[in-house]
Amino acid sequence: MFCAIGFHTVSVDDIIEEAGVARMTLYKNFGSKEDLIVATLRREDKLFRQWLIGTIEALSTRPADRINALFMALHERFASEGYYGCAFIRASIEFPDHQHPVHRAALAHREMIRSYFRGLADEAGALQPRVLAEQLYLLFEGAITASQLHGEPWPADYARQAAEHLVAAARARSGSDQAQDVPLQMGIAQQPRQP
């Protein structure tokens, strides 16, 4: 309900009615609506990580190909029935205070994505992997936002095409003929540094 309708729009009464639980039970388990929102975002983060790793590993084993596969997977995700957009973008907008626990949970998810792109860019043999990673991250964010706004999957296709150009240019500058086939590792507990 939070992810599909909105965090502020869904009331505690809506949650209680939908879940069929007593108000006391809700507060006993979560303490507050905001605690429930943070728990929801943590669950969304876990599900997204599982989807991301499973989908990309199934599509490719080479780092440079994984970047392409990521945007192909986004297209499939955007086109899937029931896709409601990005809960983390919604949360960061509805809770704009950077110190708020909900905003911090949304930011932690995005930092995981940035860390993931850093690993892919490094493994792909880019001369400046950090620069490539941030460029890919911006394409990723832009595709998600545009897809959510338009309700269509096409932004992932344009982002994938742009990513292909960025990866090719980054690898050409590095003189890397082929990236090593290194197993993909996702920095789940890593806290990446700011650019």
Kindly report, residue by residue over 16-43, the tens digit of the pLDDT.
Answer: 999 898 889 888 889 899 999 999 999 9
> Confidence class of residue 124 from pLDDT cuts 50, 70 and 90?
confident
Residue labelled with tokens 């090593």: 180
pLDDT average, residue stretch 61-86: 89
Q: Answer yes or no: are the C-beta atoms of 181 and 126 closer than 8 Å.
A: no
Which of 107, 138, 134 lies closest to 118 in space, CA to CA? 134
In the chain, the amino acid numbered 182 is V
Residue labelled with tokens 């992997």: 129
Q: How many Å is the maximal CA-CA distance in the chain?
A: 63
pLDDT average, residue stretch 103-127: 93
pLDDT average, residue stretch 84-105: 95
Element (H, E) at 172: helix 154-174
Expressed in angstroms, the distance from the first to the final Cα of the chain is 34
pLDDT at 182: 34
Task: Specify the CATH class of 33-174 in words.
Answer: mainly alpha
Q: Structural domain boundaries of the chain? A: 33-174
Q: Residue 42 contacts by C-beta under 8 Å, 6 or more apart in sequence? A: 105
pLDDT average, residue stretch 89-114: 96
Alpha-helix runs per DSSP H in 60-100:
63-79, 87-94
> Confidence class of residue 188 from pLDDT cuts 50, 70 and 90?
very low
Residue % of the chain over a pLDDT of 90: 65
Q: Is the pLDDT of residue 178 over 70?
A: no
Would the pTM count as exceeding 0.75?
yes
pLDDT at 184: 35
Token couple for 116 = 């993931």
